Amino acid sequence: MRKLKRLAPQIVALVLVLFAVTLAVPGFLSISVQNGRLYGSLVDICVRAAPVALLAIGMTLVIATRGIDLSVGAVMAITGAIAATLVADNQPLVVVLLVSLGIGLACGLWNGALVALLDLQPIIATLILMVAGRGIAQLVTGGTILTFNDPAFSFIGSGALFGVPMPVLIWLVAGLVVGLVVRRSALGLLIEAVGVNRRASSLVGVRSRFLIVAAYAISGLCAALAGMIVTADIHGADANNAGLWLELDAILAVVIGGTSLSGGRFSITASLIGALIIQSLNTGILMSGWPPEFNLIVKAAAIVVILTLQSPTVATALSGLRATFGSASRSNSHEPTGKAGARAK
Amino acid sequence: MIRNRNLPFAATVLVFAGIYLLCVLQFPTMLSFRVAGNLLTDNAFLGVAAVGMTFVILSGGIDLSIGAVIAFTSVFVAVLVRAGVHPAVAFALALTLSTAFGAVMGMTIHYLAMPAFVVTLAGMFLARGAAFLITTDSVPISHEFLDMLKSLYIQLPGKGRLTFIGMVMLATFVIGMVLAHRTRFGANVYALGGSQQSSELMGVPAAATTVRLYALSGFLAGLAGLVYTLYTSAGYSLATVGVELDAIAAVVVGGTLLSGGSGLVLGTLFGVFIQGLIQTYIVFDGSLSSWWTKIAIGILLFVFIVLQRATLLLPRRSGKAVAFTPIPRGG
């Protein structure tokens, strides 16, 4: 019950977005089974949201430690390029998967080492790989868009298991595994402790360095998974455009999910719903026939509204208002107030 | 103490001289006014925007909207000029808009206490989206006023040219240096970057400084957009994607601390030069691909940040080393 309360603003926002799109596009919500797999706009949203959802899982942990990982888009490009090279080289699928995940892990460890061991600011530490990463990916592909034809690897991007598309399955399983590991053990709490006050948590014996490195490593692994999905989906590696600006979408998903950029309390489920909200906006704008140029404007407006409601100043002001007017304001409170109220608690 | 503070800047100048020396040893023709002039012209828009970024970073903030604002300004001006508006009027309108845009972001950051990173990210989406809304085509422009501006150049020996936009960049740096090091506003920016809380307690007007700071960054991004329009003679909404990263890289390589409060505007000029030099080298070499630029800049970023870390740590080691010393059990 408490958990549901925490997720309420995100769920309400998602429902509102879906409702708005349904008004513009009748039949938007219909789901059917064709050729033994699910079809429909909602399924499409879940599939298209896969890269951002995966990135958001790792990003949530990183942001919870009061960090940020700007390099995930570039890591996607690198792992995509490496996976495509290996597949084009006819390597077995296991080798492709393991090497790509290994590279993603290595990228994450590099970021983690810079942040935790060299005490660099996370924005800057991960900026290095963000700038250099695309160059490295270009180096791997030789500057061309590397294409391949391999049904086994493509299955990751376009296959389906028990009627559920593989990308959806991957981000669901990844979210479940990471979520269970951090929430069914004390790890999540310790990560939050590091994010709130790293020095204090170190003093009470929390292994803050290890936890920070681990958060970035998981972020790297998630980016590797996302990179492989994108590569498998388009049957090729595009070092220039794979994962371009997805780090921003992932950060946005986490922020919409109510995890503060200044670290501390986090919720992976809320971040995943955040990713779905972003993708619903994208798909909705596309399907309702608005020019795609509006996409960025709508996204910017959504961020501004959501963040304004979450900002400490507004939250304090609103809770002050509520204290003043008591139950009177609660009975006629409209949706935004309710959202901010839930955050303020 | 002063020597310590200027150590990163000295390192930047040294690296610039070193890279230039290597370039000249391999390609003697690079030691010419022509190359120097082109270095200024080709990087003029980046330089102008990087001055604004220097102020923002000195205050401990960040501005991710720069590239999008440059693109917006260039499209905005191009469409206005195509519609028959005099370029000077279009320039003034564009600068007013971009300054107001920056000021609004500054207000949002200060009054709503939101992280600069997210606010300017939203600003980036907004500006880029607005540019898309105006047009997604590349709009070429020609006007005698623009031709006149382009013909304003100083002939350097050896067919080199100090173009108008090169002069604009140099002037921006000079004004930026005066603003940062010789005015109350500049002192306030450094103070905010050092510690917002202490500076507010000492009477630094945090609200006014933050708003002016982002307005300045917006103004300079707009100016960079105008320079870019002159440079390419066109407006294109997909142009200058990721310029904010180049600008941040230039500021960091120029010796400004990303945590704010320490750095020199002049350092950023050398940061821009170093990036330009790497690009020029790759063009001269001919066989290297352009993606090496990114890798080289990434490596430079890494080296500089680690160097900064070292110079920061060294003086503290002798005295209080509390903040950065690993705690044995917690390590």
Per-residue three-class SS string for chain B: CHHHHCHHHHHHHHHHHHHHHHHHHHCHHHCCHHHHHHHHHHCHHHHHHHHHHHHHHHCCCCCCCHHHHHHHHHHHHHHHHHCCCCHHHHHHHHHHHHHHHHHHHHHHHHHCCCCHHHHHHHHHHHHHHHHHHHCCCCEECCCHHHHHHHHCCEEECCCEEECHHHHHHHHHHHHHHHHHHHCHHHHHHHHHHHCHHHHHHCCCCHHHHHHHHHHHHHHHHHHHHHHHHHHHCEECCCCCCCHHHHHHHHHHHCCCCCCCCCCCHHHHHHHHHHHHHHHHHHHHHCCCCCHHHHHHHHHHHHHHHHHHHHHHHHHHHHCCCCCCCCCCCCC
3-state secondary structure of A236: strand
Confidence band, pLDDT 50/70/90 cuts, at residue B331: very low
For B113, phi and psi rounded to 5 degrees? Answer: 50, 45
B157-176 average pLDDT score = 90
Residue A254 is assigned to a structural domain of this protein: yes
Top-confidence residue, A320 or B272: B272
Distance CA B85, CA B80 (A): 6
Task: Kindly state the average pLDDT of the residues A83-100.
Answer: 92
Could you give phi then psi for residue A82, rounded to 5 degrees?
-70, -45
Q: What is the pLDDT of residue B177?
A: 94
Q: Does residue A333 belong to any structural domain of this protein? A: no
- Measured CA distances, B107 to A116, A300, B116, B212 (Å): 33, 17, 10, 9
Domain ranges of chain B: 2-312
Best of A131, A201, A248, A260 to substitute, by most chain B Cβ atoms within 10 angstroms, is A131
Is 90 exceeded by the pLDDT of residue B142? no
Report yes or no: A105 and A220 within 8 Å, Cβ to Cβ.
yes
A113 part of contact set with chain B, CB < 8 Å: no
The answer to whether residue B245 scores a pLDDT higher than 90 is no
Min Cα separation B301/chain A (Å): 6
State the pLDDT confidence band at B207, using cuts at 50, 70 and 90.
Answer: very high
- Band of residue B265 on the pLDDT scale cut at 50, 70, 90: very high
Cβ of A125 within 8 Å of Cβ of B305? The answer is yes
Helix (H) or strand (E) holding A40: strand A37-40
Alpha-carbon gap: B118 to the closest alpha carbon of chain A (Å): 8
B327: left (phi over 0), alpha (psi -120 to 50) or beta: beta
Tokens standing for A103?
Answer: 């590279």
What pLDDT was estimated at residue B167?
92
* Interchain proximity B294–A132, CB inside 8 Å: yes
Query: How many angstroms away from the CA of A75 is the closest CA of chain B?
Result: 14
CB contact under 8 A, A208 and B330: yes
Q: How far apart are CA B254 and CA B271, in angstroms?
A: 4
Alpha-carbon torsion A199, A205, A209, A213, what sign?
negative
Angle at A295 between CA A294 and CA A299, to 5 degrees: 115
The whole-number pLDDT of residue A339 equals 38
On chain A, the residues whose CB falls within 8 A of the CB of B118 are 251, 255, 261, 303, 307
Residue A300 CA to residue B129 CA, distance in Å, equals: 9
DSSP summary character for residue A36: T
Per the CB < 8 A criterion, the answer to whether B71 and B271 are in contact is: no
Tell me how many domains chain A contains: 1
Cβ-nearest to B121 among A131, A248, A301: A248
Rounded to a whole number, what is the distance in Å from the CA of B218 to chain A's nearest CA? Answer: 17
Check CB contact under 8 Å for A202 and B130: no
Q: How many CB pairs under 8 A join A and B?
A: 129
For the packed helices A246-256 and A268-287, what is the interaxial angle rounded to 10 degrees? 120
- When pLDDT is averaged across residues B171-197 and rounded to a whole number, the result is 92
Q: Which two tokens mark B31?
A: 């030691």
**Which chain A residue's Cα is nearest to B243?**
A131
* Chain B residues with CB-CB distance to A293 below 8 A: 129, 132-133, 136
The answer to whether A176 contacts chain B (CB < 8 Å) is: no
> B129 vs A293: CB contact, 8 Å cut-off?
yes
- pLDDT band of residue A345 (cuts 50, 70, 90) is very low
Substitution target in A262, A293, A309 with the highest count of B β-carbons within 10 Å is A293
A194 in contact with B at a CB cutoff of 8 Å?
Answer: no
**Rounded Cα gap, residues B267 and B260, in angstroms:** 14
Per-residue pLDDT at B318 exceeds 80 = no
Average pLDDT over residues A301-330: 70
Q: Which residue of A has its CA nearest to B322?
A: A199
Measured between beta carbons, which residues in chain B are less than 8 angstroms from residue A301? 126
**For residue B259, what pLDDT is reported?**
78
Q: Does A335 touch chain B (CB under 8 A)?
A: no
Interface touch B245/A130, C-beta < 8 Å: yes
Q: Which chain A positions have a beta carbon within 8 Å of B324's beta carbon?
A: 119
Would the CB atoms of B298 and A135 count as touching at under 8 Å? yes
Q: Residue B183 — pLDDT band, cuts 50, 70, 90? A: very high
**pLDDT per position as a tens digit, A1-58:** 567 777 887 888 888 888 888 888 887 887 887 777 778 888 889 999 999 999 999 9
Chain A hits for B124, Cβ within 8 Å: 248
Q: Which residue has the tokens 């349904």?
A: A22
Q: Does the residue A30 lie in any domain?
A: no
CA distance A293 to chain B (A): 5
Structure confidence at residue B130 (pLDDT): 92
Alpha-carbon distances of B36 from B90, B159, B277, B294, rounded to whole Å: 31, 11, 9, 21
Decide: residue A300, CB within 10 A, 0-12 exposed, 13-18 middle, 19+ buried.
buried
Contact check, Cβ <8 Å, B245/A143: no
Tokens of A78: 């690198």
Residue A273 lies in a domain: no
Measure A41 CA to nearest chain B CA, in Å.
25
Q: Note the pLDDT of residue B4.
A: 64
Query: Which of the two residues, A27 and B211, has the higher pLDDT score?
Result: B211
**Domain residues for A185?**
37-267
Under 8 Å between Cβ of A72 and A222: yes
- Name which of B133, B248, B293 is nearest A127 (Cβ-Cβ): B248
Do the chains contact at B136 and A293, CB–CB below 8 Å? yes
Rounded CA separation A269/A143 (Å): 38
Q: If we measure between CA atoms, which residue out of B174, B185, B153, B164 comes closest to residue B268?
A: B174
For the domain spanning B2-312, the CATH number is 1.10.3470
- Copy the structure tokens of residue A142: 């030789």
Q: What is the pLDDT of residues B44-72, one digit of tens each?
A: 999 999 999 999 999 999 999 999 999 99
Pairwise CB contact (< 8 Å): B121 & A252: yes
Task: Give the C-alpha separation, B232 to B150, whole Å.
Answer: 11
CA distances from A341 to A143, A240, A316, B299 (A): 51, 43, 9, 46
Residue B235 buriedness (CB in 10 A; 0-12 / 13-18 / 19+): buried
Token pair in block for residue A153: 């690897």
In chain B, the residue whose alpha carbon lies closest to the alpha carbon of A305 is B122
Query: Which of B100 and A24 is assigned the larger pLDDT?
Result: B100
A295 in a structural domain? no
Number of C-beta neighbours around residue B286 at 10 A: 6
What are the pLDDT digits (tens) for A181-215? 999 999 999 999 999 988 899 999 899 999 999 99
Residue numbers in B near A111 (CB within 8 A): none
Contact A69, A58 (CB under 8 A): yes
Q: What is the pLDDT of residue B53?
A: 95
Q: How many angstroms separate the Cα of B197 from the Cα of each of A64, A139, B60, B191? A: 24, 46, 12, 10
User: So what's the pLDDT on residue A337?
Assistant: 39
The pLDDT of residue A342 = 39
How many Å apart are CA B26 and CA B284, to the nearest integer?
10
**DSSP class of A160:** E
Burial of B118 (0-12, 13-18, 19+ CB in 10 A): buried
Q: Work out the mean pLDDT of chain B and round it to a whole number.
A: 86
Q: How far is A180 from chain B (nearest CA, A)?
A: 25
The structure tokens listed for A49 are: 């949201």
Cβ of B291 within 8 Å of Cβ of A139? The answer is yes
Chain B residues with CB under 8 Å of A121 CB are 258-259
Identify the band that residue A334 occupies on the pLDDT scale cut at 50, 70 and 90. very low
| Under 8 Å between Cβ of A100 and A153 | no
Mean pLDDT of B126-153: 88
Q: Name the 3-class secondary structure at A66.
A: coil
Q: How confident is the model at residue B322 (pLDDT cuts 50, 70, 90)?
A: very low
Structure token digits, residue B248: 């941040």
- Cβ contacts of A134 on chain B, cutoff 8 Å: 291, 294
> Is A249 part of a structural domain of the chain?
yes
